[in-house]
């Protein structure tokens, strides 16, 4: 069948001249798509969707637009072989379609109805999930003119969260998602290696050593100090708020390595062009990738937004060190000399508009730069000893000083006054060993709008709030569920904040899901049937949520959580008193258990008969709050198909010295490696410091081969970045690395269920996220019993269609690397 469909394609091409794939005799069913950018007789884009063993193809002369108002002509062309999805190259002149072609975008697609019937009808709706194009799209067939043999359609974007009537995606993201190249680079003749100017003589510097280009250099890190050095012999630089990155440049091509050793070249593809003109054959440049706001200040929030939305043109690389140049290792050279050579290397190739910038410095006393950084609202400054060599890891020859101390504090109460338009100040608290301690008040930094909206929210938190020990009498207590981001000078002897300034609420925000409206699983009758004794009892310690708060949380998220746990064996973490030491796990039936909680027995791998339970309906789920259930931990299989697991969990567990941003970097890397194997990964926070990457499968394997397959995949991923990952248990193996725990995929093993609370300070939740949302989360604990119900009510469940993306695990592990 596929051979017949490809007859026209093959007749038009001479495969002895063109590198285009002739195509296999038979295709396979899949759901990938590609958009090629093609310079042929006329410039255009080609949309190709994998369907029926071939790529259905349309030429789109003006290219796709994210603006639903734009209707773009799409001319249906001959079917292409599925192997064409990866084709990028130069089609020889004189051949059909002669000219350069790049993979402008690629990913997976899904029809909104039967695809063949919709195409025949001429009204074809589908969803795309690519690096540049996402959400709903439509192809509408035009009525043909007399004697017209072309099949003309209109391609346009549907109104959904992925639509954008301002962004020209063709201009913003012109590069290949496969190689990062522009189509103009593909058409140009090969470049000769750039010459080395006579004044760039790294070998003349004291401490330089001949050597091969390193694959990775672990970055040098600064030690925090309260004040910058006033001594001579120090260089002081602005501290940036971005992603620390090493740029490895070879003959004009740049590779970007993250602080934890991951290759993020593909993510920063547009930035690579700024390094192409540098007059060197090889270089390793240390720097920071940032996005600047309107005042020229680096903003991590803006960086996250640019990466998530594909606005790569906003990225800037600030270069502050040169570690290797043209065959010379410069780590043993004094910093001042390295920076001098770096400035020479960049001279003539950097201006105010360049995406590559030199990070300048001031010498001597750093106080003036520190004061300026404070005035401008910058992060602070980094001070470096001018004579020091480069030393990977934390050092004292590099120090950092924050312009102002910053911190996130619990809002424990407030005061009011008529002069301050109602809200006068906030009472701040800090968790210490599970107890909330008073840290003083903040009364500045609010605008009128914030005063009004914040007071309204705080008034709704007064019921059930306890007075905070040590707080003044005039403070009105509130339940401690909101967190404020505060700048302050220092602390008093009793730990109260001095000169505190309110900078905003620390809140998470999730992107609205494009999935179908949620199905109601919890009825009003179910809610009315909840009976909670001792509703005001604190679940953990003297502060924090009550038993009723936990019940209300699970009722609020039940419609989203239940599809992921109904019919699956679960272990429950119960807290029957206010003492954390009384909490315990329960996986078997218990006295007074709700009647719709199922109990069953099965033999474990050792041949022992064990009892387990599963949640079977909304009533049983809601009733568990009465029994002090805080956490749900689920199997990767349904009770009715107990020996056919259908969800793989890769638990990314950070070791000592690994921060949240590095775990996020690691999760993004894991996603890419899984997608290379043809799998569709989903992501959620663990409710702690880690991240769970979850893959739906077709449930064809038993537990033993399932566990082995997950181990093999984990080993493959770890091998791609051995300095970042380990698959070996043990604390010593995890230091400064991330443990990929695949043992949650063994029979009777569990993982925190999607939306399950965790019995920890602030009661965070194991929260499913869209991949674009993952990088926007600064602190996973912000997704908690208080904040999450409102977030998911607005955004929906990003895992709603997880079952539609199940893949065969056997096929994945046999895939070639």
Instruction: Give the CA distances from residue 93 to residues 19, 39, 60, 100, in Å, rounded to whole numbers and listed in that order.
Output: 12, 11, 21, 10
Q: Tell me if residue 301 falls in helix, strand or coil.
A: helix
Strands 72-81 and 89-91: unpaired
Neighbours of 546 (CB within 10 A): 18
Two structure tokens written together for 700: 């064809």
Q: What is the CA radius of gyration of the chain?
A: 29
Nearest to 405 by CA among 495, 320, 480, 292: 495
User: Is residue 132 annotated as part of the catalytic site, yes or no?
Assistant: no
Task: Check if the beta carbon of residue 783 is closer than 8 Å to that of residue 767.
Answer: yes
How many Å apart are CA 788 and CA 169, to the nearest integer? Answer: 32
Backbone angles phi, psi at 495, to 5 degrees: 75, 10
Strands 380-385 and 362-363: unpaired
How many Å apart are CA 730 and CA 118, to the nearest integer? Answer: 55
**SS3 readout for 510-535:** CCCCCCCCCCCCCCHHHHHCCCCCCC
Q: Tell me if residue 774 falls in helix, strand or coil.
A: helix
User: Of 157, 239, 400, 441, which one is the catalytic site residue?
Assistant: 239
DSSP 109-160: EEESS-HHHHHHHTEEEEEEEESS-EEEEEEEEPPPPTT---EEEEEEE-SS
Nearest to 72 by CA among 153, 134, 174: 153
How many Å apart are CA 255 and CA 269, to the nearest integer? Answer: 9
- CA 770, 806, 633, 651 torsion-angle sign: negative
Placement of tokens 């941003």 in the chain: 661
> Residues near 571 by Cβ (< 8 Å), separated by ≥ 6?
585, 586, 587, 632, 633, 750
Neighbours of 654 (CB within 10 A): 22
How many Å apart are CA 684 and CA 693, to the nearest integer? Answer: 7
Two structure tokens written together for 718: 């770890």
Q: Which residues pair with 77 in a beta bridge?
A: 57
Task: Check if the beta carbon of residue 739 is closer than 8 Å to that of residue 412.
Answer: no
How many Å apart are CA 603 and CA 607, to the nearest integer? Answer: 5
CA angle 372, 378, 379 (to 5 degrees): 120
How many Å apart are CA 95 and CA 101, to the nearest integer? Answer: 13
Nearest to 760 by CA among 500, 539, 598: 539
Q: Which residues are catalytic?
A: 239
């Amino acid at each position: 069948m596929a051979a017949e469909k490809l007859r026209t394609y093959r007749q038009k091409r001479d495969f002895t001249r063109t590198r285009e794939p002739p195509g296999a005799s038979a295709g396979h069913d899949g759901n990938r798509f590609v958009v090629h950018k093609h310079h042929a007789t006329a410039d255009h884009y080609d949309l190709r969707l994998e369907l029926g063993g071939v790529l259905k193809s349309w030429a789109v002369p003006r290219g796709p637009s994210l603006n639903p108002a734009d209707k773009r002509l799409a001319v249906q062309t001959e079917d292409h072989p599925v192997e064409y999805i990866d084709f990028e190259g130069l089609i020889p002149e004189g051949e059909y379609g002669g000219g350069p072609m790049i993979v402008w975008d690629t990913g997976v697609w899904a029809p909104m109805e039967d695809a063949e019937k919709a195409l025949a009808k001429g009204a074809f709706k589908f969803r795309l999930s690519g690096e540049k194009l996402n959400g709903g799209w439509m192809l509408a067939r035009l009525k043909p003119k007399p004697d017209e043999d072309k099949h003309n359609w209109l391609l346009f974007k549907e109104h959904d969260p992925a639509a954008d009537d301002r962004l020209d995606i063709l201009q913003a993201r012109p590069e290949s998602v496969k190689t990062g190249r522009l189509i103009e680079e593909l058409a140009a003749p090969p470049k000769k290696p750039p010459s080395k100017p006579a004044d760039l003589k790294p070998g003349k510097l004291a401490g330089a050593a001949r050597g091969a280009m390193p694959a990775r250099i672990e970055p040098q890190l600064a030690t925090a100090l309260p004040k910058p050095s006033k001594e001579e012999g120090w260089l002081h630089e602005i501290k940036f708020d971005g992603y620390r990155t090493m740029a490895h440049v070879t003959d004009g091509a740049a590779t970007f390595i993250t602080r934890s050793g991951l290759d993020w070249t593909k993510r920063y593809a547009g930035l690579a062009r700024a390094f192409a003109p540098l007059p060197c054959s090889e270089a390793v440049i240390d720097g920071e990738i940032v996005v600047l706001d309107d005042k020229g200040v680096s903003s991590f929030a803006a960086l996250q937004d640019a990466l998530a939305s594909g606005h790569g043109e906003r990225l800037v690389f600030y270069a502050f060190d040169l570690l290797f140049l043209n065959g010379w290792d410069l780590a043993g050279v004094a910093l001042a000399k390295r920076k001098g050579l770096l400035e020479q290397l960049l001279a003539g190739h950097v201006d105010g508009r360049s995406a590559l910038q030199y990070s300048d410095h001031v010498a001597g006393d750093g106080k003036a730069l520190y004061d300026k950084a404070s005035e401008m609202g910058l992060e602070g400054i980094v001070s470096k000893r001018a004579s020091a060599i480069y030393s990977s890891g934390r050092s004292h020859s590099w120090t950092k000083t924050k312009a102002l101390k910053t911190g996130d504090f619990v809002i424990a109460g407030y005061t009011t006054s008529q002069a301050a338009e109602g809200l006068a100040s906030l009472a701040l608290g800090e968790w210490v060993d599970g107890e909330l301690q008073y840290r003083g008040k903040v009364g500045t930094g609010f605008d009128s709008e914030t005063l009004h909206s914040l007071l309204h929210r705080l008034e709704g938190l007064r019921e059930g709030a306890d007075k905070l020990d040590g707080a003044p009498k005039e403070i009105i207590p509130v339940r401690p569920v909101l967190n404020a981001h505060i700048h302050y000078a220092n602390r008093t002897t009793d730990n109260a904040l001095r000169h505190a300034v309110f900078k905003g609420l620390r809140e998470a925000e999730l992107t609205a899901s494009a999935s179908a409206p949620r199905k109601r699983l919890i009825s009003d009758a179910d809610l009315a049937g909840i009976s909670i004794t001792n509703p005001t009892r604190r679940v953990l310690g003297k502060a924090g949520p009550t038993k009723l708060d936990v019940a209300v949380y699970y009722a609020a998220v039940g419609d989203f959580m239940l599809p992921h746990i109904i019919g699956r064996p679960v272990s429950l973490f119960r807290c029957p008193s206010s003492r954390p030491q009384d909490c315990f796990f329960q996986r078997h039936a218990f006295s007074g258990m709700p009647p719709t909680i199922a109990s069953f027995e099965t033999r474990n791998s050792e041949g022992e008969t064990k009892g387990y339970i599963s949640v079977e309906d909304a009533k049983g789920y809601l009733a568990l709050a009465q029994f002090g259930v805080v956490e749900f931990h689920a199997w990767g299989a349904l009770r009715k198909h107990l020996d056919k697991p259908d969800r793989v969990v890769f638990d990314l567990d950070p070791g000592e010295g690994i921060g949240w941003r590095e775990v996020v970097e690691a999760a993004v890397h894991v996603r890419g490696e899984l997608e290379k194997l043809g799998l569709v990964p989903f992501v959620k926070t663990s409710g702690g410091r880690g991240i769970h990457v979850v893959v739906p499968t077709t449930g064809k394997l038993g537990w033993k081969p399932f566990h082995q397959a997950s181990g093999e995949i984990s080993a493959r991923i770890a091998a791609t970045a051995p300095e970042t990952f380990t698959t070996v248990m043990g604390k010593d193996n995890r230091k400064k690395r991330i443990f990929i725990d695949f043992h949650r995929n063994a029979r009777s093993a569990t993982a925190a269920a999607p939306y399950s609370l965790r019995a920890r300070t602030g009661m965070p939740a194991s929260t499913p996220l869209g991949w674009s949302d993952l990088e926007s989360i600064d602190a996973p604990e912000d997704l908690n019993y208080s904040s999450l119900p409102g977030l998911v009510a607005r955004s929906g469940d990003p895992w709603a269609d997880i079952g539609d993306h199940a893949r065969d695990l056997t096929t994945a592990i046999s895939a070639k690397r």
